[in-house]
Structure 1
Amino acid sequence: MGSLVVFFQLAGAVALLLFGLSLVRDGMTEAFGVRLKMALGLGTRTGPRAFLSGLLATLGLQSSTATALMTASFVERDLIRGRMAQIALLGANVGTALTAWFVSAGIEAIAPVLLFSGYVLGRRKGPVWLGTGRALIGVGLMLISLALLGHATEPLRNAPEIAAFLPMLDAAWPVALLFAAAIAALCSSSLAAVLLILSLPLPPGLTVVLVLGANLGGAVSPVLATSGLGVAARRVALGNLLIRGLGCLAALPVAGLAGAALTGLALPGAGLAVEAHLAFNIALTLLIWPFTGPIARLLTRLLPDEEREQEHGPRWLDDAVLKSPLLALTGASREVLAIGDAVERMLGQTRHAFDSNDPSPLAEVLALEDRVDRRQQQVKTYLSRLGRDASEEENRRAITILDYVINLEHIGDIIDKGLAPEVRKKIGLGLRFSAEGYQELDAMFLMTQENLRMAQTVFMTRDRDMARRLMELKVDIRNMERQSAQRHLIRLRDGQPESRETSSLHLDILRDLKRINAHIASVAHPILDEEGLLIESRLRMG
């Protein structure tokens, strides 16, 4: 009975820790998700910036797994190069170790303050306040969970069974490493596994081995999560697992010496497990960084790019189900999602050409625009043949699909006839934006891509909260466009030659990206209108 009580106390403490982690991750995503994505997407042009971006994103999200998935999605869309992605994940690993140091620093006394502050902030309106409040509550729960872990493991410290089991585990380090890896993979968090190891009375060498296993297991979750994504995304997760695996193999033979050395280190506010976690990831970064290029090339050979399928017609428009409106609308929705993916690809290739000063990606933009035009016309024709016995709700859904596919076609036109020629002009004339102007335009590009992905999700899920957030981001884009134009005029007054040469180009790109975001946000209109959350005009009454 006593063993059962200890088990549930330990399981409850770990569950509270994982729940706190999820609150921090969800809260930071809600409050600063777009900014974190922009920071990660824009901060990977050089190795040091990529490392710092990965570290800061993980400190914000409290999860290297979340950072790995975000990075993988960017690589899949050609926003981040493979080598920079691996450096960003090295930063994410160090960020997790720093998080463990902060959480274990013996500051449980401030947990009530964090909980109260989070509750107060969470009652205020706005995603930033609500998300920040949720994150503070999550940190407070994590600190409380550490106190519970210490209390739950107290009976284990002097238990004869543990005294007999630990020497057996200490004598089989490979088994101990795999055991800790399984715990981290099961929890989907190397941080939770390290903090659990911290609470147990272990010999120094075994502690280091278990921490190595936790690091290895923490790289398993991204591999599983990206298994359904494209090859580029799977390469990122697999590379992270490969790098951690190589680090564990190299560190395992010297775990005893490392444990003895770290025992005398006495890092303030940390135990041996946290010290080992931090030391391993810093050492891994220093040793692997010079070889990230060859590792990226090796992963490309192991997982070669798949040839893109040439689509000659619609995949989901089945004439046989036209008499069943529900099935027909489902097929049309899937077809429109594929059109949205093509438009997103057009935007990504345009940004790639803008970033690399290489016009070759724009050739695909022209081919994709022809496909988008053809397929949106096929969707409109298909829906016009919908059975007459469709219900009022099904007719409304058909109109929503038509509205969205028409907006996607307009976005494609803006990219093909506006953005692409502007980027060609930049490349052909050898124009260079000022550093500030370039950063502003690239941030607009990246935010537009993220908004398009959110619109795709809103279209399928019809989630009211996400639709509202999409409309709020439209306002953010409008403010970004206005502020960038104002800063550009200030640079013109200051006489910056780059700003003078690219003045019309800068303002044209801003205008086109703003127009694209207006079309993107339109997917939220019918959802919010049904809830009575839209007003007829932005004009102030009176």
Structure 2
Amino acid sequence: MSGSVVLLHLAGAVALLLFATRMVRTGVERAYGDVLRHKLRNTMRNPILAVLAGTALAIAFQSSTAVTLLVGSFAGAGIVSGIAGQLAVRGAEIGSALVIKILTFDLSLLVPLCLVAGTTMFLATDRRSWQQTGRILVGIGLLVLSLEMVGQASEPLRESKLLPVIIDYFAGDPVTAYLLAAIVTWLFHSSIAAVLLIVTLAGRGFVPPELGIVLVLGVNLGSSIIAPLLTRNAEPGVRVVPIGNLLMRGAGSLVMLVAFLWIKPSTAFLGSTGPDQIINAHILFNCIILVAGIPLAKLVYSASEKIVALGTRTDPAKEMAVAELSALNEAALDTPSQALANATRETVRVCETVEIMLQRIIELYESPDADKIKALASLDDRVDRKHQAIKLYLAKATIRPMTEDEALRCQELLGACVKLEQVGDIIVRNMLAHVQKKLDRGLEFTPEGWRELTSFHASVMANARLAFNVLVSRDANTARQLVLEKDRLRDVEKQTSQSHFLRLRDGTIKSVETSSIHLDTIRDLKQINSLLASMAYPVLEEQGLLRGSRLKAS
């Protein structure tokens, strides 16, 4: 087999490895992301629980970078402290390393089991939670399969005369090998994929343990760079945790490289085989960083804040552009297709504001704050202003001749804007009132009641994103899924109310105190979900998939 064909097979196996890792992560984020976020906020106040939570999330998301970005956003919003966020990221790195350890066992039987079970779950139902679970299982199956493919694709390299020369070069130039591993990891955007590739090649005898450890240290450097680069344009508070991770993990990898090259310790204590030694070195490194990071947490956090402050510059021109930016270009009114496109862009911005309001409201339920309540109320004023501007713009556009499709799209955008304004009103006039009542009276939900609220809210958030996607894509399958979710949530609302009344009957004090807030919030969320689901009706009607106000049987 020619070298080019071998490299093509190896590239395909690596591509499948990256795709499968991303597939598992997106499946977990879509199915359980909102629930995990809520649970994370509750556990991050305890340093030990913060580490454990970070470890568990990294195993679930198959990515320490995803956890770093998530925790960074929480720290930026003031939900968790920056120090607790850094400890959670330390745990996430260990969780990511443990995933690699698990995946090196003989899991070949999982491939057919996961593919069959996952595909069946994905195709046999329209329920999003089951479909995403199926996606996760298929991703796990493909992940294990990709590792087998990497091993098989690299087998012909045993006969290569060039490969030993390359390996000998990097073994003699560890600094270059370290930097190359960092660059490859940054390109992969996945330390798990990078380490698994190194371990698989080491299992075939291509990478000696000493070089493998150097490469793993480079992987840790590359992985610590990803989050700071992805958040370079974010708010300063969001960037502190990723920068702190770079200081600890990135700088730590460099210190460990120098120590490893200087001391040249035996790798035998790390395991009996090359792959075991490389994996255990990866785990040991992150454990050392965790242990060192606990006493250094305050110092690293302070340094991170100073670094972020140095790189933060206020651009008045940019701020003014953001404040005044509008897609409603009056010059495009003579061309209806362009005018409708402009109106769609502006409506999407309203969707983004409503999504922020819907996300922040549940945070206020958990931690009521007078300043944040005022800030959320001001977002509704923005929605009202944009709604009025879009309505006036579309009214001007209808003066010009339009095709039937353009006229229908105009009505669809008007309807969407009305519904989005109503959602904003429900959040501000109803739900914020519940938050204020909870704050004034110092009330607390029962653990069961809070789980019900957050779970119901997570479903509404997921449906909101579907509705916003439908507005742009006009995809019939997504629209149908959104309406089916509306029917499912109706049943969930009944079950939630029944559970709440059972707690009232049992005389649970907290249930009695928060009863009206609990029931009214569920009712408001259900109404919001109904408004958002109705944004799918024009698409379904156009496709002939509606019968009255109900879906036709498929």
TM norm structure 1: 0.86
> What CA distance in whole angstroms lies between the structure 2 residues aligned with 1:251 and 1:442?
43
Amino acid at match of 2:520: D
SS of residue matched to 2:520: helix
Residue correspondence of structure 1 range 171-186 to structure 2 within 5 A:
171-186=172-187
> What CA distance in whole angstroms lies between the structure 2 residues aligned with 1:518 and 1:8?
50
Answer whether contact 1:188 1:221 (CA < 8 A) is retained: yes
Give 1:180 deviation, angstroms.
0.7
1:390-424 deviations in Å (ceiling 9; x for gaps) = 22212111111111111111112112211112111
Amino acid at match of 1:181: A
Q: CA RMSD in A?
A: 3.5
> What CA distance in whole angstroms lies between the structure 1 residues aligned with 2:487 and 2:273?
45
> What CA distance in whole angstroms lies between the structure 2 residues aligned with 1:517 and 1:104?
44
1:86-126 deviations in Å (ceiling 9; x for gaps) = 44433433332222112211233543444444444444233
Answer whether contact 2:123 2:131 (CA < 8 A) is retained: yes
Give 1:455 deviation, angstroms.
3.1
72-81 vs 422-431, which deviates more? 72-81
153-162 vs 185-194, which deviates more? 153-162
Answer whether contact 2:545 2:552 (CA < 8 A) is retained: no
Indicate whether 1:378 and 2:389 are aligned.
yes
Answer whether contact 2:31 2:133 (CA < 8 A) is retained: no
* Equivalent residue in structure 2 for 1:282, among 280, 287, 291: 287
> What CA distance in whole angstroms lies between the structure 2 residues aligned with 1:3 and 1:146?
20
2:308 matched residue in structure 1: 303
Amino acid at match of 1:331: N
Instruction: Report the CA distance shift for 1:294/1:536 in structure 2 as closer, same or farther (over 3 A).
Output: farther
Amino acid at match of 1:436: E
Instruction: Report the CA distance shift for 1:110/1:521 in structure 2 as closer, same or farther (over 3 A).
Output: closer
Residue correspondence of structure 1 range 111-510 to structure 2 within 5 A:
111-126=111-126, 127-157=128-158, 161-198=162-199, 199-200=201-202, 201=205, 202-227=207-232, 230-255=235-260, 263-266=268-271, 271-289=276-294, 291-292=296-297, 295-296=300-301, 298-303=303-308, 315-386=326-397, 387-510=399-522
Instruction: Report the CA distance shift for 1:66/1:357 in structure 2 as closer, same or farther (over 3 A).
Output: closer
Answer whether contact 1:262 1:275 (CA < 8 A) is retained: no
Q: Where do 5+ consecutive residues of structure 1 fail to align? A: none
Instruction: Report the CA distance shift for 1:410/1:137 in structure 2 as closer, same or farther (over 3 A).
Output: closer
Instruction: Report the CA distance shift for 1:527/1:230 in structure 2 as closer, same or farther (over 3 A).
Output: farther
Answer whether contact 2:87 2:294 (CA < 8 A) is retained: yes
Answer whether contact 1:64 1:96 (CA < 8 A) is retained: yes
> What CA distance in whole angstroms lies between the structure 2 residues aligned with 1:173 and 1:330?
54
Answer whether contact 2:209 2:274 (CA < 8 A) is retained: no
Q: What count of residue pairs does the alignment treat as equivalent?
A: 538
Give 1:366 deviation, angstroms.
3.0
391-400 vs 193-202, which deviates more? 193-202
Instruction: Report the CA distance shift for 1:366/1:123 in structure 2 as closer, same or farther (over 3 A).
Output: closer
> What CA distance in whole angstroms lies between the structure 2 residues aligned with 1:490 and 1:277?
50
TM norm structure 2: 0.84
* Equivalent residue in structure 1 for 2:535, among 518, 523, 535: 523
Answer whether contact 2:208 2:274 (CA < 8 A) is retained: no
> What CA distance in whole angstroms lies between the structure 2 residues aligned with 1:444 and 1:290?
40
Give 1:131 deviation, angstroms.
4.0
Indicate whether 1:16 and 2:16 are aligned.
yes
Give 1:347 deviation, angstroms.
3.5
> What CA distance in whole angstroms lies between the structure 1 residues aligned with 2:216 and 2:107?
22
1:122-143 deviations in Å (ceiling 9; x for gaps) = 4423345544444434333333
Answer whether contact 2:247 2:300 (CA < 8 A) is retained: no
SS of residue matched to 1:197: helix
Give 1:70 deviation, angstroms.
5.0
Answer whether contact 1:108 1:143 (CA < 8 A) is retained: yes
Instruction: Report the CA distance shift for 1:94/1:534 in structure 2 as closer, same or farther (over 3 A).
Output: farther
Indicate whether 1:40 and 2:37 are aligned.
yes
SS of residue matched to 1:354: helix
Answer whether contact 1:353 1:359 (CA < 8 A) is retained: no
